[in-house]
Structure 1
Amino acid sequence: MPRSRTGEEILDEAERLIFQIAEARPKTGGPIGINDILVKAIDRIDTLFNLGEAITGLSTGFTDLDEATSGLQPADLIIVAGRPSMGKTTFAMNLVENAVLRTDKAVLVFSLEMPSESIVIRMLASLGRIDQTKVRAGKLDDDDWPRLTSAVNLLNDRKLFIDDTAGISPSEMRARTRRLAREHGEIALIMVDYLQLMQIPGSSGDSRVNEISEISRSLKGLAKEFNCPVIALSQLNRSLEQRPNKRPVNSDLRESGAIEQDADIIMFVYRDEVYHPETEYKGVAEIIIGKQRNGPIGTTRLAFLGKYSRFEDLAPGSYQFDDE
């Protein structure tokens, strides 16, 4: 028996229809003839050819990662996962920072875990290369203030929007994104931290797996509707802690195989020093691409500057990728 729609879902549908009428948009969805699709496909290929660049999407800001992915592609759902203390939020926010500095389009962050002020403080520490503990405590040295001013100037007047509503539902997230697009134009990137904190209104909570599956599908739908990459952070199962090799694999994604199915790219953040403090790879993070629908899988390495909440490039070519 099909699930009856909640009041929130009905309101969301009504808003969608009203918005379509207000903007005089043609009705979307439904079959499209092959000739029309071919025209669009050839136009895109021609545009990419004339650009003559390896990066066809939104640059990540990291050289080897861009080489592996060709940038973050429109309509892709990108999962960033990792165990606690690995730096997955820092990595995702660095992707946001790089997007904000490279595009005039809107960038939207849904931070379900951290308040917006904390997010911005971390961004300022990263962009200014200032010890984040000093920024949070307000104990800045004389040479920190110019760095802070420079970071503020980098973010000032950018189209960056942060929504820190806790427990937001997929339908409310979609409605708020529509309003933002109506008011501020095309969206370049959406980031969600993190998907397990989203809630389904009216759910009994009996099957968290089904809830996460619905959330995962909704995030992929969000990416398609706004034709922009959506980065969603995800938790990993604790069971990987019992393995000798603690590098994550796709099956470690917590609570739902649907995340693996819906994702176009799955990236894991792994730092060996978290488990092995005496490792020779201190300050090195592995970005493990466990799935890429249209590209290679493998590992790239970045420098991790924890006190600055920042990842940076290592020497070019510090990656290992498979052809499939």
Structure 2
Amino acid sequence: MAQADTGLTATEDSSLSLTLRHPPANIEAEQALLGALLTNNRAYDRVSDFLSGMHFANQANGRLFDIIARRIESGQLADPVTLRAELVNSDVLEPVGGIAYMGKLLTSMVGIINAGDYGRTIYDAWIRRQLIDIGEEVVNKAFGKSSSLSGPDQIAAGEEALFRLATEKGQDGGFVEFGRALTDAIVTAEKAFQNEGHVTGLTSGLVDFDKKTGGFHPSDLLILAGRPAMGKTALATKMAFSAASSLLEEAEATGAKPKGTVAIFSLEMSAEQLATRILSEQAQVSGERLRRGDIRQKEFDSFVRVSQKLARLPMVIDDTPAISLSAMRTRCRRLKRTKGLSLIVVDYLQLMRPSVGTKPESRVLEISMITQGLKAIAKELEVPVIALSQLSRQVESREDKRPMLSDLRESGSIEQDADAVMFVYRDEYYLQQRMPKEVSFDSKEKYSMALDDWQHKMSLVHNKAELILEKQRHGPTGTVHLFFEGEYTRFGNLDEIHDDGHHY
């Protein structure tokens, strides 16, 4: 039978057929569930943790569900008799035929055992309707010529809308039996007992820090802060490199692929600059001399040899400037799905943007949204997140310039959301600036005495740094003393031999 000529092109005909389609809905399931609730209020327990009135396709059914839920949650009986007065005096059931609609619901009821399945059917239809709405919005924005969002920003906005839908009430969750939680805790403790150094998480490569923290743990947000020139990036890079090295060593020992990847989001430095810094540290060739090409053949050979070794590391770098929270989340989710993900490093959080489409009223609120988002990423992907942060200039006005929690720029939300806050501090940097000048003294003897005193103080702090663990939800705070070599911007363990007898 020949198809009638509609006068439309194939594309137009396809578009028309799409618009004629009805949004996903299951009104029979809605009526059956409401009937079950009205007959036996215990059916509500099967759906209360994921279903609400907004998920119903029929508005009257949704409003009725909310009324029933409100009565049940207040400890009252919800049935046709107790609800009659409220429903008669309201317009809730007017679109569906009035109070007589209650009789239809009771004849459509299902057993309490099936209530959960009907509830999930309703919720699944709502998810599909939301996906259609998001898709239409993406298409309309893409066609819109006057849109204020660029193409990449529209992608990020679409991703953010999908993420909000994915985290909407109704996803898997709920209570965990205490026995199961205890089992998980015992497994973690057993791992620490069997592991040399008692590191249960991912190693930082810093022995004393790992002893205090047990390494980096899944779902934790760690803030590493410091003033400029203290070495924040160098220390974070050291931690990331050590974590990636441990993943590679574990994989090579078992003949398998690394179980995860270390992701570095470098918002300040390019990927090439960061790679050069790591190469400089590992090959022990000055980064400054590398940039000038002032190296000998032997050093260049070492540089190439180390680079071949580092190329195998399960580590990736994203140097997108001013990356948004939603874009970072999407890339991390994709990385976890394709290669596995074990650690995220963000350098640094003040250079990030909140999710596309959000317009915070103040900078403090913007930083709060970013830190909350980073904590959410850590929990969702079950990986530790290390975020670098700036410190306010008020540090410089004090005699003792060791940072405190109040020095965190836009500090309230950062301190609140973080599981651990640590500061990197080098006394040598500040002391170097206070080198005595001969013109400041009225005699050579006084200048000589001052210079000797300064040199003595410098010898005490030379090549030393402090990692001040100011907050830690899971353990003690305190200061970890580190080795720092300025020529290679390299951090390491201060002692050559620790009390466990191992060399580092």
Q: Normalising by structure 2, what TM-score? A: 0.57
Secondary structure at the counterpart of residue 312 of structure 1: strand
The question of 1:79 aligning with 2:223 is answered: yes
Q: Does 1:308 align with 2:488?
A: yes
Tell me whether 1:122 sits opposite 2:277 in the alignment.
Answer: yes
Which runs of no fewer than 5 residues in structure 1 stay unpaired? 21-25, 319-324
Query: 2:305 matched to 1:150?
Result: yes
On the 8 A contact 1:82/1:269 being kept in 2, the answer is: yes
Partner of 1:180: 335
SS class of match (1:246): coil
CA displacement at 1:70 relative to structure 2: 1.4
The 5 Å alignment of 1:192-203 reads 192-200=346-354, 201-203=356-358
Question: Post-superposition shift, 1:123?
Answer: 0.5
Q: Structure 1 residues 298 and 312, CA, compared in 2 at 3 Å: closer, same or farther?
A: same
Rate the CA distance shift 1:188–1:306 in 2: closer, same or farther, 3 A. same
Q: With structure 1 as the length reference, what TM-score do the two structures score?
A: 0.87
> For the structure 1 residues 298 and 39, does the alpha-carbon distance in structure 2 shift closer, same or farther, using more than 3 Å as the test?
closer
**C-alpha distance in structure 2 between counterparts of 1:183 and 1:281, whole Å:** 45
State the AA in 2 paired with 1:292: Q
Query: How many pairs were matched up?
Result: 307
Give CA deviations for 1:129-167 in whole Å, capped at 9, x if unaligned: 111111222332122123212321221122211111111
More helix, by proportion:
2
Match in the other structure for 1:210: 365
Counterpart CA distance in 2 for 1:300 and 1:34 is: 35
| C-alpha distance in structure 2 between counterparts of 1:314 and 1:44, whole Å | 28
Higher Cα radius of gyration: 2
SS of 2:423 mapped into structure 1: strand
1:100 matched residue in structure 2: 244
- The one-letter code of the counterpart of 1:85 is A
| Residues 77-119 of structure 1 deviation map (CA, whole Å, 9 limit, x = unaligned) | 1111000001111000011111111102211000011110100
Aligned partner of 2:466 among 286, 298, 310: 286
Identify which range, 154-163 or 46-55, moves more after superposition: 46-55
- Shift in Å, 1:276: 1.0
Give the secondary-structure state (helix, strand or coil) at the position aligned to 1:294.
Answer: coil
**Percent of pairs with identical residues:** 42
The residue identity in structure 2 corresponding to 1:89 is T
**CA shift for structure 1 position 50:** 4.3
Measured in 2, the distance between the counterparts of 1:36 and 1:70 equals 22
Q: 1:14 aligns with which of 137, 144, 162?
A: 162
Tell me if 1:276 matches 2:431.
yes
2:210 pairs, out of 57, 66, 69, with: 66
> 2:469 aligns to what SS in structure 1?
strand
Q: Secondary structure at the match of 1:147?
A: helix
CA contact (8 A) 2:188 2:200 kept: no
Could you tell me which of 191, 200, 205 is aligned with 2:345? 191
CA, structure 1 residues 203+226, in 2 after alignment: closer, same or farther (shift >3 Å)?
Answer: closer
Spell out the pairing of 1:202-281 with structure 2 (5 A cutoff).
202-204=357-359, 206-277=361-432, 278=454, 279=458, 280-281=460-461
Alpha-carbon distance in structure 1 between the residues aligned to 2:363 and 2:313: 37
**Is the 1:91–1:310 contact (alpha carbons within 8 Å) kept by the matching residues of 2?**
yes
Q: Residue 132 of structure 1 corresponds to which residue in structure 2?
A: 287
Shift of residue 205 of structure 1?
A: 5.6
Deviation at 1:226, TM superposition (A): 1.7
Whether contact under 8 Å (1:270, 1:286) holds in the other structure is yes
Q: Which residue of 2 aligns with 1:321?
A: none
SS at match of 1:191: strand
Q: Is the 8 A contact 2:212 2:476 kept in 1?
A: yes
What displacement does 1:31 show?
Answer: 3.2
CA distance in structure 1 between the aligned counterparts of 2:228 and 2:476, rounded to whole angstroms: 26
Q: Report the CA distance shift for 1:48/1:285 in structure 2 as closer, same or farther (over 3 A).
A: closer
The aligned amino acid for 2:225 is: A
In structure 2, how many angstroms separate the alpha carbons of the residues matched to 1:52 and 1:89? 28
**Counterpart check, 1:89 vs 2:244:** no
| TM-fit CA distance, 1:264 | 1.2
The one-letter amino acid paired with 2:487 is K
Cα distance in 1 for partners of 2:490, 2:191 equals 33
1:114 aligned counterpart, secondary structure: coil
More strand by share: 1
Partners in 2 of 1:64 and 1:48 — Cα distance? 15
Unaligned runs of 5+ in 2: 1-133, 135-152, 248-257, 433-453, 500-504
AA in 1 matched with 2:427: D
Task: Answer yes or no: is the 8 Å Cα contact 1:121–1:136 preserved in 2.
Answer: no
**Higher alpha-carbon deviation: 308-317 or 210-219:** 308-317
**Following TM superposition, by how much is the alpha carbon of 1:317 offset from its aligned partner in structure 2, in angstroms?**
6.3
Larger mean Cα displacement after TM superposition, 46-55 or 283-292: 46-55
Q: CA 1:41–1:303 in structure 2 vs 1: closer, same or farther (change >3 Å)?
A: closer
CA contact (8 A) 2:364 2:410 kept: yes
One-letter code aligned to 1:119: L
**Greater RCO (CA < 8 Å, at least 6 residues apart):** 1
